[in-house]
Amino acid sequence: MKPVDLVLELPNDLRAIERAVEFLASRAREAGFDEGLLRLNFRVGVTEALANAMLYGNRGDEKKHVRVDASVTAERVRVRVRDEGGGFDPDHLEDPTLPVNRARVGGRGIFLITKLMDQVEFNEAGNAITMVLNAPAREAP
């Protein structure tokens, strides 16, 4: 199946997240992607990525934007979220599950994304995350 390619340019406003996630989920649903994965994995993963881009990447700067590139099929959803910030080094995130880090703010969103998505990659600059969610294998008729 040919993928549906989507591009969104979002204002750096947290209120834009819910509508963007719903739009992307609806396109994935139309493509036949697994509804169960859309309800939890997809929604939480993409919401966290967008919030991180707006709050940490763009540092809440209303003049900046967040770009979303998505490719959707019934078998796979690929979403890339890029902010206009200077980036970060994902290899230096503290593990939020360790007792010493439980009270600290930060790192939980990336942790959730890596647990909910099948594949997560960051660009070299650290200002873009690419997430892939695969549908469960279907049995042949």
Domains, the chain, in order of start with CATH, read 4-134 (3.30.565.10)
What are the E-state strand segments in the chain?
4-11, 65-72, 76-82, 119-122, 128-134
The pLDDT score that the predictor gives to residue 107 is 73
pTM of the prediction?
Answer: 0.92
Largest interatomic CA distance in the chain: 52
Determine the 3-state secondary structure of 54 from DSSP: helix
Q: Cβ contacts of residue 107 below 8 Å, gap of 6+?
A: 93, 94, 95, 96, 101
Residue 29: per-residue pLDDT: 96
Return the percentage of the chain with pLDDT > 90, whole number.
Answer: 78
Residue 140 has pLDDT above 90, yes or no: no
137: pLDDT strictly greater than 70: yes
Torsion region of 130: left, alpha or beta (phi above 0 gives left; psi -120 to 50 gives alpha): beta
Q: What is the pLDDT, as a whole number, of residue 99? A: 84
- Helical axes 15-30 vs 43-52, angle rounded to 10°: 140
14 is written with which tokens? 């947290």
Q: Is the pLDDT of residue 15 over 70?
A: yes
Question: Distance between CA 87 and CA 111 in Å, rounded?
Answer: 17
Q: How confident is the model at residue 100 (pLDDT cuts 50, 70, 90)?
A: confident
